[in-house]
Amino acid sequence: MATTDSMESGGLITCPTCDHSVPQNRGNKRIICPKCGNFYDRDSAVDELRQIRRVNREKQSPNEIKDRDEDKDKSSGTLSSIASFFQNLGPNRKTKPTGPHSRSNSQASSHLSEPSSKGSNTELPPISQSQTPSGKRTPLYNVNGGPHSPRPSDTKEKSTSKADTNNQRVNTWAQQGDSNISQITASGNNNKLVYPVRTKTAEQLKEDVLLAKESGNWKVVQDFYATTFESFLEINAIFKRDPCKEYKTVEEPGLKFELVQMVYEILLKLPQEIQKVVLKSVINSLLKDKRPHTKDDLRAYLVLLQNPQFENFTTYVIFAHLLRQIAALTDQDHHFLVHWMKGLKKQVFQRIIKRLHNFISIRLFPPKPQDLPPMAKCTWWIPSATKVLALLNAANNLTSPTLVQYSEFYNPTLDHLDLMAEYYTWQNPSSCAGFSFCQYPFILSINAKRTILQRDSEQQMIIMARRSLVAKVQRRQMPDVGMLFLNLTVRRSHMVSDSLNEIARKQHDLKKKLKVTFAGEPGLDMGGLTKEWFLLLIRQIFHSDYGMFTYDKKAGVHWFSSAQCESYQEFNLVGVLMGLAVYNSIILDIHFPPCCFKKLLSPAVVPYNNPQAMVGMTTMNLTDLKTVQPDVANGLQNLLDYDGDVEDDFGLSFQVSVTEFGVMKTVDLKPNGSNIPVTNENRKEYVTLYVDWILNKSIYHQFQAFYHGFHSVCASNALIMLRPQEVEMLVCGNPILDMNELRKVTTYDGYNSQDQVIKNFWEVVLSLPKDLQKRLLLFTTGSDRIPVGGMSEMTFKISRVGGTDLLPMSHTCFNMLVLPAYKSKKTMKLKLIHAVQNAEGFGLE
C-alpha cells in the first residue's frame, strides 16, 4: 500500500484501490493513479493541490484575482477549479462507511456532507444550502428567482407517530414570492430523503429563454441550469416523473425523457457562460459520488450521459470521470441501467454511441495531444468508455427489433491498432495483463475481426508448414515447395468422392494454403482453379437430386435433410469447405438461414477432448423457423392465435409427421406424445417442441458432422468474438451492393473506360433494379455478394469479343465478363438482362 513516506522516498508507488504499481521519481509526487483514476493519498493530494493553487495565485495579477473572486461570488459557491473535482474522485478503499449511503470523508471540499453518527443522513446537499434548527441541510431554489430562506416555524421537526410511517409525505413550504416550490420527503426504513419539487416545464423554460434574450438578463435561466445539475438530488427533482414514487423496477426508470432532451437542446443554444456553469454543476454532482448507490443515482447517471456538451473534447476530463463512475457500478446497478437504456429514443441512443466512439477515437489518436492529459496518466479512460458502451450494446440486444444495427457499435478507428497485440493480450491474460478491445468484440468491425482471424490462421498455417519441413528433414527427405500447401487433386467426373478422399487423407494439412489440381488438365492454380473447385463442388452437393439439403423457394434458403443415412461424411465435407473458404478468403454462394450460423457458434469453440459433447443445440423460436420453412411457421402461428377449441377443431397430438424417401413416418415430440392431445392450454409447449425438433433434434447428426468439419479448419479462439451474422459475412460476403464502387475497380481487355460501349454498359447497369444488379454479379463472379472489405477488394474484368449477335458470357473463376460491342444502349440492355435472367446460379433453383 502506498504511504506518504514511500511517495517521498522514490521507487515504486502502489495504488490502494487497484494495486497497480508505477515508478515514483524523487521530487515529483504522483497524486492520481494512471490506471483507475483514484488517489494514492487523499491528504497529500489535497496539500499538493492547495500548493498548486497558491502558486498559480501568486502568478496572477491583482486584476485577475479580483475578476476571479467576483466570478466566484456570482456562481454561488460552484467550483472554480477542476483540481477540486479530481481530489474528490474515487473511493478510498481503506475508508469504512458509517451508513448505507455514507462515503469517505474528504477535507478537499466544503461541499461534502458529513455522515451522521447513526448513518441516517443520506441527503445530497447542493452547493447553496441552509442549515435548519434540527441540523438538516435543506436545498433551496426558486425557479423564478434566487434562493429564498424558509420560515423558521416551517423547519421545526415534527414528532413522529405511527400515523406518519408512510413511505412518502409532502410538506408545503411557504416561499417568499414563489408558491410553486414544495418539498417531498421520501422515508425508508432507516433514512429520509428530502426532494425539492421543481415544477418548471419545458414551455416555461422556453418562455424564460425568450424573455432573457429580449432583456439580456440571463439570471433566471442560469439559476435554473446551475441548480438542476448541481446534485443527483436536484437532477431527480426536475426530471423524475413523480418524486413520491421510488421506481425500483427495471421496466420503468421514472424519468421525463422528453424534458431531458428539451433541457439539453436549449442548453446548446445558450451563452457560453451558462454552459460553463452547467459543467461546474456537473462536477459538483460527481463530487458527491457515494456508495452504495440508490436508484436515484442511476437515474442521474442516465441523465448526465445524455449531455451533448460531452461531444466537445474540452469536456473529456469531466466526461471520463462520469464514465468511470458508471463503469464502476455493481452488476445489479448495471442490470437496471441496461433495461432503462432500452427506453431511450433511437436518435438519443445513437448520439450516445457516437459520443463514446468519438471519445475513444480522440483519446487513442488525439488531433492535438497537448489538449489532453498524457495517456500514461489516464489509461483508465478507454476501458471506462468501452464498458459503458457495453451497457448500451446489452440494452440494444434486449430489444426486438434492435434499436440500432449492431454495426453501429463498430469503431473503424480501431482497425488502425495493432490488432494482433490486442488479440494476444486477450489470449494470454497471465503474461499480458491489461485491457484489450477483444474483451468487448462488439466494438471491433468485421474487417478488424477478419484481420485477426486471417492472421491467426496464417500463423497456424506457418506452424503446420514448419512442422512438415522438420518432419521431412528428420526423415532425410528432400523438402519441396508442395509441402507448404494443401494440395488437392480431383477428377471432374468424381468431384465429391475425390474431394472427400483427399480431405480425409490430408486432415493434418487443412490449415495450409489451398491449391487445387484437376486430374488430366495442365494448369497452375493461381486462385482460379481453387475458386472453380469450390463453385462446382457446391453446385453438386446442394443440388436437390443429391438429397443432402432441401430448398425452400419462398425462403430462398437451403436446410439440412432430416433423412437418416449410414454416413455423414458429406456434411462434414460441407463444413470443411466453409472453413477453407474463410481461411483462403473465398466467397461462397451458399444460402443458409441465419439460424444455421447461430448453431455453428454453439459453442464457438469445440469442447476440448470431448467428442461426445453436444454441439449445435440452441434455443429456437418461430422467428427462426420462418427463415427456414415460412409456411410451417405461419401454420403454427395460426394455431397459437386460434380463438376456438384447438383440441376439437385441429385434432392434433404431440407428434410430427415427416416424409423420408417417399415414406411417411411420425415422431413423438415428447414421451407418449401420440396419446397427448394438443389443447388451448398446452399449444405453446407443442409449438416450442415442434420448432426444436425441426431445427435441432431431427438434424442433429447431420449438423454435428457439419459443425466439426467447419471447426476442424477454423479452430480459432477468434471465433468467440464473432456474431452469427458476421460468420455469414465471412463465408458468403457482404450483401450491400454499390455498382459505382465496382466500376472504380474494373479493368478492361480490348476496351477502355472512355469507349462508348463501356459508357453504355455502366449506364445500363446503374439503371437496373437491385435484384438484377445482384443477378449480374452472380452471373459474372459466382456470388451475389461482395467481399467483407467492400468492392475495393474485388477484381472485375470486362473483355471484348466479336459478334454483336452473341449474348454476354462470363468466366466466374476469374470474375470476367465477356461483352460484345453492341451498337446501341437498347440492345445492350436487352442482351444483358436476357443473359443474367437465364443463367442458373450455384445454389439457386
Under DSSP, the state recorded for 380 is T
Residue recorded with cell 416555461? 204
- Name residues whose C-beta falls within 8 Å of residue 199's C-beta, 6 or more positions apart in sequence: 143, 180, 181
Nearest to residue 268, comparing CAs of 241, 306, 299, 240?
A: 306
| Catalytic hit among 33, 595, 596, 813 | 813
How far is Cα 71 from Cα 94, in angstroms, rounded to an integer? 37
Beta bridge partners of 659: 664
Residue 353: C-alpha distances to residues 23, 385, 777 (Å): 36, 10, 35
Under DSSP, the state recorded for 270 is S
Q: Which helix (H) or strand (E) holds 723?
A: none
Q: Do 549 and 575 form a contact (C-beta atoms < 8 A)?
A: no
Q: Return the SS3 of 144.
A: coil
Phi/psi for 717 (5° steps) reads -65, -15
How far is Cα 143 from Cα 464, in angstroms, rounded to an integer? 74
CA triplet 486, 488, 492: central angle to 5 degrees? 160
Between the two ends of the chain, the Cα-to-Cα distance in Å is 71
Under DSSP, the state recorded for 479 is P
Q: Do 77 and 420 form a contact (C-beta atoms < 8 A)?
A: no
How far is Cα 523 from Cα 532, in angstroms, rounded to an integer? 13
- Burial class (CB within 10 angstroms; exposed 0-12, middle 13-18, buried 19+) of 805: exposed
Q: Is 813 a catalytic residue?
A: yes
Residue 248: C-alpha distances to residues 102, 245, 301, 396 (Å): 20, 9, 15, 21
How far is Cα 325 from Cα 344, in angstroms, rounded to an integer? 20
How far is Cα 283 from Cα 272, in angstroms, rounded to an integer? 17
Nearest to residue 615, comparing CAs of 638, 627, 598?
A: 598
Catalytic positions, please? 813
